[in-house]
Amino acid sequence: MSETEAALPSETTRVTPFAFARTLVTRWDLIALVIVIGVVAVLADASRGLLEPLAKLNATPLSLDPSHLPEYAARTTLRMFAALALSLLFTFTYATWAAKSERAGKLLVPALDILQSVPILGFISVTVVFFMSLVPGRVLGVELAAIFAIFTSQAWNMAFSFYQSLRTVPQELQEVARLFHLSAWMRFWQVEVPFALPALIWNTMMSMSGGWFFVVASESIAVGHTQVALPGIGSYIAAAIDQRNLHAIGWAILTMLIVILAYDQLLFRPLVAWVDGLRFEQEPGGHRPRSWALTVMRRSRLLSALTHAFYAGVRWTSWAIPVRSTPPSRAIARGAASQRSGFVWGVAVAALVAVALAYIARMIVLGSSLNDVIEVVGLALATMVRVFVLIALASLVWVPIGVWVGLRPRVMEFVQPIAQFLAAFPANLLFPIVIFAIVNWSLNPDIWLSPLMILGTQWYILFNVIAGASAIPGELRYAAANLGVGGWLWWRKVALPAVFPFYVTGAITASGGSWNAAIVAELATWGDTRLEAHGLGAYIADATAAGDFHRIVLGIATMSLFVVAINRFFWRRLYFYAERRFRLG
């Protein structure tokens, strides 16, 4: 079965980094930064007050008996689907608003970029108490917190992809929609969503992979004295680590493998293959993604029944919603109204910024000394060095391998699903091995814990390089062969330049993800053994465990700042250089 094509990032499905950021830093970036960190501060502040009374919560104890695993797997899957539904809702509203309103977009798009760089596990520490307080004394609150945490690992890049699609709907399709008087609702479901769907599905698939990485952390939550384990694979793994149970770890790995495979084969492959037919470019030839599951569904007419039901729904709702036509006389009145609402918007944004600043001041300035800040920046620098060194090392390994694989379709078919599984592999599962090695040979945890950071993210480099290599036109390769270009010369003049733009895209994702993973990776435990590296990730993890919200906010704010700054000042430059210089065609 040739299904490899489906999993590769292609020209149309990948989110173009920095497409929105033509200028380095704008006023709106700063406003967005203040607001996002302000929200974190508000949540943390609220959590601080609520923490104690909620500490005692009765949850069913977890069992390490493998017979419970199917149930745990089902619950985890359900949680991920709930988060996915939330992410879709967020995508359809937030991204649509950002794309349709010039004014709102100015703030919402940079805000999305900042949200993307807020560590996912940071969200858990500041939101869990809030969610628990919504439903006091019940497990439901923790469920909500876990689902929200998974949501934060999925939503941002889905929203970005949708936003980008909405902004690039071909002009003539928009004109057709207007000429034939499609209502805004009808246009959304019949023109914009179908156009955006291929990219959205691809990004959803990537988000799901990323979500698994954080499942352990989101199901087994410990903030200060609040400690809850939700029944699920994540908690199972956490308990296995706590009890040093290697068998259980093995069972967990097997279960995850099965679940990820099922997801892939039963959900995403069919979706990707189905959605390929909706693509706007209609050039013939090329591999079209296939899926046995889709073929089965097509033959059973399940799919056509579903799509018909969906379109009937769209049609019904379009009929139910009255058409709004704006007579020309109202256009002028609207101008004045828009001026007024612009003023209101400006005031609202200013107020938000003021409140955010107040909370940030309260959480950071009042709660920590200058020494704390210096310490945190120092730790952030340590983590930064780690991330850059790891990206460099991973590049040295995966670029040549990626090129080699990308030029061989048969190998690609084989490698792709394995890499995809590895990308979803939670770092915690490797804790036993790493800790055993470090303790046994008394290694330096500052160095040897680091590889865990890039465990899940290095694959983005591989994926993208494979995609780049397989996109090298055959004629270019033949020309190189014809001229006898080989060895190092071939790498220097043919392969590396051709995959460079793809590599940069992958490296950007890998870099952002590694910062995120630092919170898991810089602090590893195995039963009572606890190893810690010096870094911002360990700092946030420590602060979370201690329930110290001042330090949590300081850590999250610093990490977000670092990630945004590195993106804007380093990756952005490299990305535009690569696009200008090496983009084929």
Among residues 178, 340, 573, 583, which is the contact residue for another protein, using CB under 8 A? Answer: 178
Specify the stretch interacting with another protein by CB under 8 A; choose among 38-46, 272-280, 352-360, 529-537. Answer: 272-280
The least distance separating another protein from the CB of residue 369, rounded to whole angstroms, comes to: 48
176 binds another protein (CB under 8 A): yes
Judged by CB under 8 A, how many residues of this single chain contact another protein? 31
Check residue 62 and report its DSSP letter.
P
**305 contributes a contact to another protein by CB under 8 A:** no
CB 70 within 8 A of CB 231: no
Residue closer to another protein, measured from CB, 243 or 317: 317
Torsion of the alpha carbons at 441, 447, 453 and 455, rounded to the nearest 10: -50
**Phi then psi dihedrals of residue 483, to 5 deg:** -85, 0
Task: Tell me which H or E stretch contains 228.
Answer: strand 226-229
**Left, alpha or beta for 547 (phi > 0: left; psi -120 to 50: alpha)?**
left
Dihedral pair phi/psi, residue 486, rounded to 5°: -145, 180
Q: Minimal distance in Å, beta carbon 185 to another protein?
A: 11
**Minimum distance of another protein from residue 331's CB (angstroms):** 8
Least separation in angstroms between CB 290 and another protein: 15
Is there binding between residue 469 and another protein (CB under 8 A)?
A: no
Length of the chain: 585
Rounded to a whole number of angstroms, the minimum distance from the CB of residue 169 to another protein is 11
In the list 27, 181, 299, 324, the residue contacting another protein (rule: CB under 8 A) is 181
Determine, following the binding rule CB under 8 A, whether residue 581 of this chain makes contact with another protein. Answer: yes
- The verdict on 488 binding another protein (CB under 8 A) reads no
Find the shortest distance in angstroms from Cβ 324 to another protein: 12
Tell whether residue 165 is a contact of another protein (CB under 8 A): no
Residue at token pair 């379009």: 318
Is 27 or 181 the residue whose CB approaches another protein more closely? 181
Question: Which residue, 282 or 482, is less far from another protein as judged by CB?
Answer: 282
Nearest residue (CB) to another protein, 198 versus 406 = 198
Q: How far is the CB of 178 from another protein (least distance, A)?
A: 5
Nearest to residue 194, comparing CAs of 266, 280, 101?
A: 280
Q: Count CB atoms within 10 A of the CB of residue 486.
A: 11
Query: CB-wise, 171 or 371, nearer to another protein?
Result: 171
Question: Which position among 56, 60, 102, 179 is part of the footprint of another protein (CB under 8 A)?
Answer: 179
**What is the distance between the alpha carbons of residues 508 and 570, in angstroms, rounded to a whole number?**
10
Q: Does 254 bind another protein (CB under 8 A)?
A: no
* Residue 10 binds to another protein (criterion: CB under 8 A): no
Taking Cα atoms as reference points, which of 145, 7, 4, 27 lies closest to residue 424? 7
Scanning 3-11, 190-198, 199-207, 520-528 for contacts with another protein by CB under 8 A, the matching segment is 190-198
CA distance 432 to 438: 10
Query: Is 573 one of the binding residues for another protein (CB under 8 A)?
Result: no
Q: Which span (47-55, 313-321, 436-444, 455-463) binds another protein, by CB under 8 A? A: 313-321
Binding segment for another protein (CB under 8 A), chosen from 33-41, 131-139, 320-328, 385-393, is 320-328
Q: Decide if residue 278 touches another protein (CB under 8 A).
A: yes
By the rule CB under 8 A, 482 interacts with another protein:
no
Copy the structure tokens of residue 72. 């745990």
In the list 88, 191, 355, 574, the residue contacting another protein (rule: CB under 8 A) is: 191
Stretch that binds another protein, among 62-70, 143-151, 319-327, 438-446 (CB under 8 A): 319-327
CA 37, 39, 41, 45: dihedral to nearest 10 degrees?
A: 180
Q: Which stretch binds another protein (CB under 8 A): 165-173, 348-356, 431-439, 509-517?
A: 165-173
Q: Does 186 bind another protein (CB under 8 A)?
A: yes
Backbone phi and psi for residue 267, each to the nearest 5 degrees, phi listed first: -115, -60
**Shortest reach from residue 20's CB to another protein, in Å:** 19
Question: In whole angstroms, how close is the CB of 217 to another protein at the nearest point?
Answer: 38
User: What is the number of other CB atoms lying within 10 angstroms of the CB of residue 80?
Assistant: 25
Q: What crossing angle do the helices spanning 409-423 and 370-406 adopt, rounded to 10°?
A: 160
CB atoms within 10 A of CB 150: 32
Binder of another protein out of 173, 353, 355, 471 (CB under 8 A):
173
* Half-sphere exposure of residue 249: CA atoms within 13 angstroms, side-chain side: 19
The answer to whether residue 437 forms part of the interface with another protein (CB under 8 A) is no
Task: Give the helix ranges, DSSP H, for 135-192.
Answer: 139-167, 171-179, 184-187
Phi-psi region of 27 (alpha: psi -120 to 50; beta: other; left: phi over 0): alpha
User: Applying CB under 8 A, which part among 76-84, 120-128, 140-148, 181-189 lies near another protein?
Assistant: 181-189
Q: State the nearest-atom distance from the C-beta of 275 to another protein, in Å.
A: 9
Q: Of the two residues 134 and 312, which places its CB atom closer to another protein in the complex?
A: 312
Residue 282 touches another protein, criterion: CB under 8 A: yes
First to last CA, the chain: 30
Nearest approach in angstroms of CB 11 to another protein is: 16
Helix (H, G, I), strand (E, B) or coil at 227: strand
Does the footprint of another protein cover residue 340 (CB under 8 A)?
Answer: no
**What DSSP assignment string belongs to 80-142?**
HHHHHHHHHHHIIIIIHHHHH-HHHHHHHHHHHHHHHHS-HHHHHHHHHHHHHHHSTTSHHHH
**Residue 497 found at the interface with another protein (CB under 8 A):** no
52 lies in the site for another protein, by CB under 8 A: no
Residue spans of alpha helices (H) in 180-245 = 184-187, 193-219, 233-242
Task: Give the HSE-up count for residue 560: Cα atoms under 13 Å, Cβ half-sphere.
Answer: 29
Stretch that binds another protein, among 59-67, 166-174, 338-346, 499-507 (CB under 8 A): 166-174
Q: What are phi and psi of 369, to 5 degrees?
A: -95, 175
310 binding another protein? (CB under 8 A): no
CA distances from residue 307 to 152, 301, 312, 320, 423 in whole angstroms, order as listed: 29, 10, 8, 20, 32
Binding interface with another protein (CB under 8 A): 170, 172-173, 175-176, 178-183, 186, 190-191, 194-195, 197, 277-280, 282, 284, 315, 318-319, 323, 326, 328, 580-581
